[in-house]
């Protein structure tokens, strides 16, 4: 498998040449460049590739005007700007292109949201279509092979993840994951003045990987890695902006003893998490299988809903008495509660306080047999 079709491809093609910038965000190495190359090639139009990783490109696009941009673009009708977050004032540059060079379609990709405010708010209000690209989804891999084959690959995905390079080269997945999960993964972070101690960043990542699926405490993490609470929280925020991890908050609406604060942390890909720990053991010989299953389901559910253009918010639920539910999803006013169990023999019970407090909530158990109906396939 070398060219697996991405769900976003058709959606983005529909948005071309509508006098708006197309912004594609996502972690490094998830295939943003390959996706853009396929989209551009399909148009048959002349294009110009510009990389924010290159100094002269940053100089050219940082403080510019319509005349200079037209000279730079020449007769090209598609302009592809990679690693756009590295270009100062890129939001203003994109605004000039959209407003004053209407015959050109600009596509900008970014592997972090450090400049997302600049890109997304003023000056690009009403002038953009935004997309987020994840590692391969279960659905994309099913379309490439079959539902049966992908279900057989579940354990492999829990251990090695779904990054394109790993999926297309399973024979040396471990070595490739170790390369992807190295400093390249958070290269943008290391360029920031705020990151004073790269070693601290690595220690924090390992501590977060070990606490996968558990509620985190910034003070305790600080004690583990040897940093103060404020620094830990700042580094976690930066890791989230680099699309390495993401946080989900506690759910509380109307039950008095629900936790009002607290966050759980998950990784955008199970393979990256395991590579950070250097643990590629099979599920039968590891104690974190349940946490990996939670992470896998949550991210696959997020991919499915995002690609279906369905807005949803995710939470965990816990009371002061330690009654808990893995995930609560709120979408279009509908509350869905999910308990994730890697073993099909375990039949979890949803806590009575939750069922009484949210009688309208839909209750679901997610195991390898029931997974597919919640990520787009009825099996």
Q: CA dihedral in degrees (351, 353, 359, 361; nearest 10)?
A: -50
The answer to whether residues 106 and 157 belong to one domain is no
User: 11: helix, coil or strand?
Assistant: helix
The answer to whether residues 173 and 315 belong to one domain is yes
Range of the domain at 225: 138-374
Structure tokens, 378 = 């009825």
The confidence score (pLDDT) of residue 161 equals 96
- Domain membership flag for residue 356: yes
Adjacent-strand bridge partners of 215: 264
Q: Number of folded domains in the chain?
A: 2
The answer to whether residues 183 and 314 belong to one domain is yes
The confidence score (pLDDT) of residue 292 equals 98
Sign of the torsion formed by the C-alpha atoms of 164, 305, 288 and 157: negative
- Domain membership flag for residue 379: no
The confidence score (pLDDT) of residue 319 equals 87
Residue 113: count other Cβ atoms within 10 Å of its Cβ: 17
From 115, 132, 149, the end of a domain falls on: 132
Per-residue pLDDT of the chain (379 residues; tens, 9 = 90+): 458 999 999 999 999 999 999 999 998 889 999 999 999 999 999 999 999 989 999 999 988 999 999 999 999 999 999 988 888 888 889 999 999 999 999 999 988 765 544 554 557 888 999 999 999 999 999 999 999 999 999 999 999 999 999 999 999 999 999 888 876 666 667 666 566 677 888 899 999 999 999 999 999 999 999 999 999 998 898 888 888 999 999 988 777 766 677 899 999 999 999 999 999 999 999 999 999 999 999 999 999 999 999 999 999 998 888 889 999 999 999 999 999 999 877 778 899 999 999 999 999 999 999 999 999 876 5
Which has the closest alpha carbon to 347: 330, 323, 363? 363
The answer to whether residues 13 and 55 belong to one domain is yes
Distance of CA 232 to the CA centre of its chain: 21
The answer to whether residues 163 and 32 belong to one domain is no
- Domain membership flag for residue 334: yes
Q: CA dihedral in degrees (78, 82, 87, 91; nearest 10)?
A: 50
The answer to whether residues 152 and 110 belong to one domain is no
Separation of alpha carbons 262 and 115, rounded Å: 27
- Domain membership flag for residue 210: yes
The confidence score (pLDDT) of residue 117 equals 44
Q: CA dihedral in degrees (223, 224, 230, 236; nearest 10)?
A: -170
Q: What is the pTM of this model?
A: 0.92
Label the pairing between strands 78-82 and 105-110. Answer: parallel
Q: Which positions ≥6 away from 213 have C-beta within 8 Å? A: 264, 266, 290, 291, 294, 295, 326
């Amino acid at each position: 498998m070398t060219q697996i079709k991405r769900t976003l491809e058709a959606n983005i093609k529909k948005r071309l040449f509508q006098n708006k910038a197309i912004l594609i965000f996502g972690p490094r190495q998830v295939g943003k460049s390959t996706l853009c190359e396929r989209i551009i090639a399909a148009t048959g139009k002349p294009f110009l590739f510009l990389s924010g990783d290159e100094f002269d490109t940053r100089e050219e696009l940082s403080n510019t005007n319509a005349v200079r941009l037209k000279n730079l673009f020449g007769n090209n009708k598609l302009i592809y700007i990679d690693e756009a977050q590295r270009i100062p004032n890129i939001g203003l540059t994109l605004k000039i292109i959209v407003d004053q060079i209407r015959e050109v379609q600009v596509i900008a990709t970014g592997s972090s949201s450090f400049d997302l405010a600049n890109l997304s708010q003023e000056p690009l209000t009403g002038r953009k279509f935004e997309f987020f690209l994840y590692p391969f989804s279960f659905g994309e891999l099913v379309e490439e092979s079959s539902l049966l084959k992908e279900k057989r690959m579940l354990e492999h995905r829990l251990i090695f993840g779904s990054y394109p390079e790993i999926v297309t080269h399973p024979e040396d997945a471990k070595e490739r994951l170790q390369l992807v999960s190295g400093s390249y993964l958070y290269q943008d972070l290391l360029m920031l003045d705020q990151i004073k101690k790269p070693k601290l960043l690595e220690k924090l990542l390992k501590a977060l990987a070990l606490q996968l699926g558990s509620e985190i405490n910034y003070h305790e993490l600080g004690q583990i890695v040897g940093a103060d609470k404020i620094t830990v929280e700042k580094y976690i925020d930066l890791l989230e902006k680099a699309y390495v991890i993401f946080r989900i908050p506690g759910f509380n609406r109307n039950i008095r003893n629900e936790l009002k604060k607290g966050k759980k942390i998950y990784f955008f890909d199970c393979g990256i998490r395991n590579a950070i720990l250097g643990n590629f053991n099979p599920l039968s010989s590891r104690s974190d299988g349940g946490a990996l299953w939670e992470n896998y389901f949550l991210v696959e559910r997020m991919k499915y809903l995002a690609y279906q253009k369905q807005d949803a918010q995710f939470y965990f639920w816990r009371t002061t008495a330690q009654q808990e539910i893995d995930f609560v999803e709120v979408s279009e006013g509908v509350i869905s509660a999910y308990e994730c169990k890697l073993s099909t023999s375990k039949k979890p019970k949803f806590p009575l306080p939750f069922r009484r407090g949210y009688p309208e909530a839909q209750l679901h158990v997610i195991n390898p047999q029931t997974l597919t109906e919640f990520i787009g396939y009825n099996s």
